[in-house]
Amino acid sequence: MAKGKKSIFFCQNCGHEEAKWLGQCPACKEWNTFVEERIDSGITKGTTVAARAVHEAKVVPLTEVTADDDTRSETGIKELDRVLGGGIVPGSLVLVGGDPGIGKSTLLLQVCQRMAQMKKILYISGEESQAQIKLRANRMGNFTSGLLLLCETNLGIIRSVIEKERPELVVIDSIQTMYSEDVTSAPGSVSQVRESTNVFMQLAKGLCIPIFIVGHVTKEGTVAGPRVLEHMVDTVLYFEGDRHASYRILRAVKNRFGSTNEIGVFEMRQSGLVEVENPSEYMLSGKPENASGSVVACSMEGTRPILLEIQALVCRTNFGMPRRTAAGTDYNRVNLLMAVLEKRLGMSLGNCDAYVNIAGGIKMNEPAIDLGIVMALVSSYRNRPIDEKTIVFGEVGLSGEVRAVNMPEQRVAEAKKLGFETCILPEVSLKMVKEIQGIRLVGVKTVNEAVGII
């Protein structure tokens, strides 16, 4: 029988293969994710196995393996180094995702600008021409000759250039534009994205070259292509924030070489992205004075305490069904906390609309902001402003108790640094906080006590 082409159906979410179309993926249980792609049935796996057999596998005891953090390379951008875990690890494969226009290409071009002063950098673009990249680079400042540009989408050509030039850092913008001639489907398809990522992974590990990959995102906010793409890379970074606003949040959702709790805060300006070294002061800028429903809470992102303003608006509803809205925090968590207020404090919120917002557009889901949400709701409901020099944090349970949170001392120290005079925190966390001059600590056991203080 002549070897020709046949159709294979791929799940866009997890990459699972089936011979026919299915409504639900049997692997990830997602609906309507299968897409049809044409593949060449003449390609066999024997060539891959034969090529792999050329190299002899060596078994090494774990005790003889050496690993040193000093091999990391700093990018020159402290916020990015923090998210990466201290710098770029040689041979690592980093995926950067985010909404269109959020600043992915701008950030990586700034990394190339700073690292090209001492190293050889290769920037590969499949979406822009060299002239377009030059126009964007002119807004950022001067570049050295250490930055090399390549506008190409063919994986074979890209691979030969990387093996010939041997750069110390490679940037791919973007993975959805790359294609391999061995795969018959169109660029951006499941097969092409998976094959392209596999090629870059082999180059990164084989030549010990760190590679940054830009990935487009879907309307749900996840990286386009199969989920296996995120499993293949070492680090996954997401840009968050409204592209029409000036702030940007860089968050690691996967990191084999560091913590996934750290975030980097940037501000978008005409010359590019600028680091925000004190995000707490940035988030609290413009806070209203003597306004009800506004309170400052503290959330921990890794080792960094971030102070943020929680706003709440509670008003009588004009409809039979009250409306609940949450921006920047979990909607279901807000409903839970409102139920606690109704049961434990006797507040009648069943006929009220409630709107909760974290100012600045940042998204926080840490339980430590529970007490701040409760205080903001009570303040708006009773129309009584909270002292602007007061900060609150603590987790609220279903019984109305205020539970302990991690690293309370760092939170209090950050509040003191920004001029706050009173801190309401869980009573069980008081013994974990050393005496800090200039700020009054008030421990509370229940929500009733906290509300009584303000």
CB 316 within 8 A of CB 345: no
CB 434 within 8 A of CB 403: no
How many CA within 13 A on the CB side of residue 74?
7
How many angstroms separate the CA atoms of 407 and 363, rounded? Answer: 20
How many angstroms separate the CA atoms of 108 and 113, rounded? Answer: 9
Whether residue 322 is annotated as binding a ligand: the answer is no
Going from the C-alpha of 361 to that of each of 9, 158, 267, 443, the distances in angstroms are 39, 39, 13, 29
- Least Cα distance to 426 among 370, 380, 387, 386 occurs for 370
Q: Which two tokens stand for residue 239?
A: 């840009």
DSSP annotation of 367: G
3 contacts: CB under 8 Å, gap ≥ 6: 40, 41, 42
CB 442 within 8 A of CB 422: yes
Whether residue 101 is annotated as binding a ligand: the answer is yes
How many angstroms separate the CA atoms of 150 and 164, rounded? Answer: 13
Whether residue 241 is annotated as binding a ligand: the answer is no
Whether residue 102 is annotated as binding a ligand: the answer is yes
- Least Cα distance to 289 among 387, 373, 148, 407 occurs for 387
Whether residue 206 is annotated as binding a ligand: the answer is no
Q: Which two tokens stand for residue 117?
A: 């002063």
Q: Is 211 helix (H, G, I), strand (E, B) or coil?
A: strand
What residues does 410 pair with on adjacent strands? none
What residues does 306 pair with on adjacent strands? 299
Whether residue 99 is annotated as binding a ligand: the answer is yes
Q: Which two tokens stand for residue 348?
A: 């009648």
* Residue 407 backbone zone (phi > 0: left; psi -120 to 50: alpha; other: beta): left
- Least Cα distance to 448 among 379, 400, 392, 378 occurs for 400
Beta-strand relationship, 169-173 and 211-215: parallel
Residue ranges for the binding site for ATP?
98-105
Residue ranges for the binding site?
98-105
